[in-house]
A and B are shown apart, each in its own frame.
Chain A
Amino acid sequence: MRKIFNLALALIMVVSLFSFTGCKSEGEVIELNVYNWEDYICKDEDNDLIADFEAFASEKYGKKVVVNYSTFGTNENMYNELQLSKVKTENGYDYGYDLVCPSDYMIQKMLGEGMLEKFDRSLGNLDNYDTYSSKYILDLFEKYGWTDYACGYMYGTMGFVYNPEVLERNSGGEYQPGDEAHWDFPWKTYSKNLGTIKDSIRDTYALAIGKVYSEELKALSLRWKAGELSDEDYQEQVVGIFNRTDEATVQKVTEELIELKGNVYGFEVDSGKRDMASGKIAINFAWSGDAVYTLDIADEANTELFYAVPEEGSNIWFDGWVMPKGANIELSQDFVNFLADPENAQINMNYIGYTPVVAGSEMHEFAISWYGAYTLIETDDAQHADFVDSKTGKAYFEYYVQDAIDEGELVLGEDYLDNGIDAETGYRCITVNEMRYPVYDEKEENIIRFEYYEDVDLYLYDVSFLLNTESDDGDMFIWTDTLGRQLETQYPTRETVMRCAIMKHFNDVEMARLNDMWDEVKVSAIPSWLMIMIVGIILLAIIVAPILSYLNKKGIHLNLKFKRKNLTLIKREPIK
Chain B
Amino acid sequence: MKTLRFSRKHLGIPYALFLALFVVFPLLLIILYAFTKVDPNGYITLSGVKVSITFENFIEFFSKSSNIRVLFISFGLAIVTTALCLVISYPLAYILAKSKLNKNGVLLLLFILPMWINFVLRTAAMKELLFAIGMYSTNRLSFVNTVIGMVYDYLPFTIMPLYTVMIKLDKSLIEASADLGAKPASTFLRVTLPLTVPGIVSAVTMVLLPTTTSYVVSDTLGNGNVTIIGKVIESQFSTVFNWHAGSAIAMVLLVIIFITMWVTNKFTDDDGGSARGNGLW
Give me the interface of A with B, judged by CB distance under 8 Å. 74, 76-77, 79-80, 84, 86, 88, 193, 196, 199, 201, 261-262, 264-268, 271, 280, 511, 515-516, 519-520, 522-526, 530-531, 534, 537-538, 541-542, 545-546, 548-549, 552, 561-564, 566-568, 570, 574-576
Contact = CB atoms under 8 A, between A and B. Distances in A.
Nearest 10 pairs between A and B by C-beta?
A266-B223, A267-B224, A545-B266, A564-B194, A519-B66, A523-B66, A522-B227, A575-B172, A545-B263, A541-B263
A86 B225 CA distance: 37
Contact of B259 (A520, A530, A534, A542): A542
Nearest to B236: A515
Given A266-B223, A549-B266, A523 B238 contact: no
Contact of B266 (A196, A199, A519, A546): A546
Contacts of A563: 194, 270
20 contacts: A74-B239, A76-B240, A86-B48, A193-B139, A196-B223, A265-B223, A266-B224, A267-B225, A519-B70, A523-B69, A524-B73, A537-B79, A538-B75, A542-B263, A545-B267, A546-B266, A549-B266, A563-B270, A564-B195, A575-B173
Nearest to B48: A86
A264 B223 CA distance: 10
B194 A261 contact: no
A330 to B, nearest CB: 29
B176 A526 contact: no
B7 to A, nearest CB: 23
A567 B191 contact: yes
B223 A268 contact: yes
Contact of B190 (A79, A266, A567): A567
Nearest to B67: A519
Interface in B14-64: 47-48, 64
Contacts of A267: 223-225
A76 B66 contact: no
B142 interface: yes
Given A280-B136, A542-B259, A545-B267, A519 B232 contact: yes
Interface in B237-281: 238-241, 259, 262-263, 266-267, 269-271
Given A74-B239, A525-B69, A562-B194, 12 more contacts: A193-B138, A196-B223, A266-B222, A266-B224, A519-B66, A545-B263, A549-B266, A563-B194, A566-B190, A567-B191, A568-B271, A575-B172
Contact of B189 (A280, A511, A525, A562): A562
Looking at chain B's contact residues, is the secondary structure mostly helix, strand, loop, or mixed? Answer: helix
A334 to B, nearest CB: 31
A128 B135 CA distance: 53
Interface string B163-206: 00000001011001000000000000111011100000000000
A552 B271 CA distance: 10
B226 interface: yes
Nearest to B69: A523
Contact of B139 (A262, A549, A552): A262
B76 interface: yes
A522 B193 CA distance: 41
B189 A561 contact: yes
B38 to A, nearest CB: 10
A356 to B, nearest CB: 27
Nearest to A512: B240
Nearest to A541: B263
Contacts of B173: 567, 570, 575
B72 interface: yes
Nearest to B70: A523
A537 B38 CA distance: 38
Contacts of A515: 240
Interface string B141-172: 01100000000000000000000000000101
A562 B131 CA distance: 42
Given A266-B223, A268-B223, A523-B70, A79 B136 contact: no
Looking at chain A's contact residues, is the secondary structure mostly helix, strand, loop, or mixed? Answer: helix
Contacts of A562: 189-190, 193-194
Contacts of B131: 280
B102 interface: no
A52 B66 CA distance: 51
B206 to A, nearest CB: 19
Given A79-B241, A80-B241, A519-B64, A265 B136 contact: yes
B99 interface: no
A266 B239 CA distance: 20
B111 to A, nearest CB: 27
Contacts of A568: 271
A34 to B, nearest CB: 21
B118 interface: no
Nearest to B243: A80
B147 to A, nearest CB: 14
B223 to A, nearest CB: 2
B137 interface: yes
A534 B74 CA distance: 11
A511 B190 CA distance: 58
A264 B139 contact: yes
B222 to A, nearest CB: 7
Nearest to A86: B48
In this complex, the member of A271, A523, A525, A575 whose beta carbon has the largest number of chain B beta carbons within 10 angstroms is A523
Contacts of A525: 69
Nearest to A540: B263
A193 B137 contact: yes
A575 B240 contact: no
A552 B268 CA distance: 12
B270 A534 contact: no
Nearest to B270: A552
B3 to A, nearest CB: 14
B225 A516 contact: no
B172 to A, nearest CB: 5
A343 to B, nearest CB: 37
Contacts of B271: 568
A281 to B, nearest CB: 10
A261 B227 CA distance: 12
Contact of B226 (A280, A520, A524): A524
B144 to A, nearest CB: 13
A403 B178 CA distance: 95
Contacts of A561: 189
A266 B225 contact: yes
A543 B73 CA distance: 22
Contact of B225 (A524, A552, A564): A524
Contacts of B227: 522-524
Contact of A523 (B47, B73, B266): B73
A526 B73 contact: yes
B224 A76 contact: no
A274 B139 CA distance: 18
B19 to A, nearest CB: 26
A518 to B, nearest CB: 8
A524 B218 CA distance: 13
A201 B143 CA distance: 22
Contacts of B263: 541-542, 545
A548 B265 CA distance: 12
B259 A266 contact: no
A87 to B, nearest CB: 10
B91 to A, nearest CB: 17
B238 A534 contact: no
